[in-house]
């Protein structure tokens, strides 16, 4: 891993203000969250048996081996059979974890047909925010996840779709290396489970923003972690390719998106507990904020953390002095990885994205191009971050279709 690099500073502006307005009413009706209990940042799995297995059974399984499964119904995918699977994967320290995913396979899907791993933008501190839960039992806080219904367009064409809970059982937002492993092992699980008839399928990946982080690490990790998966293409957009830049942009002053930054620090402490000793650094206000945000999803993280600041929640009050946290961010930043993808990549980012820096994404794409990645780099013009997903989504899906059809990957980038 290379050292931490900060390219540019700045203040993010964008869609968060509109989101905050919508979420204030939601915050007002939530019951007060108890503050009592042990001072720990750990997050355990949900109580349903589906999310649990004997540790010896998990340790003895191979990566991608399905351990639990259940059939569910999802409003977003009404009319299609959905199977949720729990399978073995590993965290960033190679410790076995029980990963989970939803698999939608149309009845008319042909044997060995296309399989897409779709990575939703999961900004969360609770496993109740994972698609295996939000798509089965949507709440006011998570109803927007039903936007994943756009995948029906490809289900009609016979694609099988995997939606992994890519933050893992510890909900380690935004741990890209963990997400990449969980997604790749989800592809192994679908390939090896005869129920999905995908033994010789071509696999692709798609994600934007936080889901783009997962997709970018799928591309980056594939050759070393899962070269046995027939991964033919990865489409990734709106990626914070260097999360240390994002930390600099948030800074130490009050910020509208501080809730996501605070959640990211908690997520890194969960995945790297020896390196990120956040429990030892939080102020009483910081603990109070954590307990109010624990288990919450994107909208409430933004609402509850809006215009808070590092000095309010962290002893010492300087984010840039938290070396362990910055190392964890760097380890999960594809821009700082010494490796580049060898699988075909379609990458896009709006030039006018006010939330996630365009310059980092552009520099990463150019580096991939120089080092031989078969990449198509597509700058966009969407005026805000979420619209950037929509702007290039049709092109990304068309590009993936060509990879599934066996068309050689083009290379369109500027060194």
CATH of the domain at 79: 3.40.50.1820
Task: Report the mean per-residue pLDDT for the chain.
Answer: 91
For residues 306 and 192, membership in a common domain is answered with no
- Is the predicted pLDDT of residue 339 greater than 90, yes or no? yes
What's residue 415's pLDDT?
Answer: 63
For residues 217 and 312, membership in a common domain is answered with no
pLDDT (average), residues 319-326:
95
Examine residue 148 and state whether it is found in any structural domain, yes or no.
Answer: yes
For residues 225 and 362, membership in a common domain is answered with yes
For residues 276 and 214, membership in a common domain is answered with no
- Is the predicted pLDDT of residue 108 greater than 90, yes or no? yes
For residues 77 and 167, membership in a common domain is answered with yes
- Is the predicted pLDDT of residue 270 greater than 60, yes or no? yes
For residues 304 and 199, membership in a common domain is answered with no
pLDDT (average), residues 372-400:
96
Examine residue 238 and state whether it is found in any structural domain, yes or no.
Answer: yes
What's residue 38's pLDDT?
Answer: 54
**Domain limits at 173?**
59-242+331-404
For residues 266 and 226, membership in a common domain is answered with no
What's residue 414's pLDDT?
Answer: 73
pLDDT (average), residues 113-119:
98
Q: Which of 342, 362, 393, 84 is nearest to 218 (CA)?
A: 342
pLDDT tens track for 194-216: 999 999 999 999 999 999 999 99
What's residue 51's pLDDT?
Answer: 98
Asked if 250 and 319 count as a contact pair (C-beta separation under 8 A), the reply is: yes
For residues 127 and 226, membership in a common domain is answered with yes
- Is the predicted pLDDT of residue 26 greater than 50, yes or no? no
Structural domain count, the chain: 2
Residue with structure tokens 């957009």? 237
Examine residue 161 and state whether it is found in any structural domain, yes or no.
Answer: yes
pTM of the model: 0.90
Tell me the pLDDT band of 8, cut-offs 50, 70 and 90: very low
For residues 216 and 80, membership in a common domain is answered with yes
């Amino acid at each position: 891993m290379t050292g931490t690099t900060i390219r540019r500073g700045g203040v993010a502006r964008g869609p968060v203000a509109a989101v905050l307005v919508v979420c204030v009413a939601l915050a007002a009706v939530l019951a007060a969250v108890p503050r009592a209990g042990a001072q720990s940042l750990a997050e355990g799995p949900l109580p349903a048996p589906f999310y649990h297995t004997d540790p010896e059974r998990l340790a003895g399984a191979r990566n991608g081996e399905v351990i639990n499964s259940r059939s569910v119904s999802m409003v977003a995918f009404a009319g299609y059979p959905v199977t949720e699977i729990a399978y073995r994967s590993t965290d960033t320290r190679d410790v076995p974890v029980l990963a989970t995913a939803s698999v939608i396979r149309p009845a008319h899907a042909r044997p060995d047909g296309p399989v897409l791993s779709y990575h939703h933008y999961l900004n969360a501190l609770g496993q109740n925010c994972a698609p295996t839960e939000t798509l089965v039992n949507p709440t006011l806080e998570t109803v927007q996840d039903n936007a994943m219904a756009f995948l029906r367009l490809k289900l009609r064409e016979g694609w099988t779709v995997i939606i992994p809970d890519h933050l893992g059982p510890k909900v380690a937002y935004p741990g890209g290396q963990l997400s990449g492993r969980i997604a790749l092992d989800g592809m192994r699980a679908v390939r090896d489970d005869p129920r999905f008839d995908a033994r010789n399928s071509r696999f692709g990946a798609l994600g934007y923003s936080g889901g783009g982080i997962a997709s970018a690490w799928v591309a980056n990790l594939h050759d070393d972690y899962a070269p046995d998966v027939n991964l033919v293409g990865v489409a990734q957009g709106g990626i914070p390719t260097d999360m240390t830049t994002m930390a600099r942009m948030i800074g130490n002053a009050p910020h509208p998106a501080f809730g996501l930054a605070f959640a990211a620090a908690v997520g890194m402490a969960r995945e790297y507990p020896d390196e990120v000793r956040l429990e030892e650094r939080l102020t009483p206000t910081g603990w109070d904020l954590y307990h109010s945000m624990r288990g919450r999803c994107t909208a409430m993280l933004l609402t509850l953390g809006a215009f808070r600041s590092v000095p309010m929640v962290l002893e010492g009050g300087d984010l840039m002095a938290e070396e362990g946290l910055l190392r964890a961010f760097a380890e999960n930043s594809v821009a700082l990885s010494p490796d580049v993808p060898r699988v075909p990549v379609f990458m896009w980012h709006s030039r006018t994205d006010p939330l996630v820096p365009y310059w980092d994404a552009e520099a990463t794409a150019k580096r991939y191009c120089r080092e031989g990645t078969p990449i198509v780099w597509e700058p966009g013009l969407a005026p805000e971050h979420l619209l950037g997903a929509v702007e290039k989504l049709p092109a990304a899906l068309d590009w993936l279709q060509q990879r599934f059809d066996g068309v050689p990957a083009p290379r369109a980038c500027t060194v």
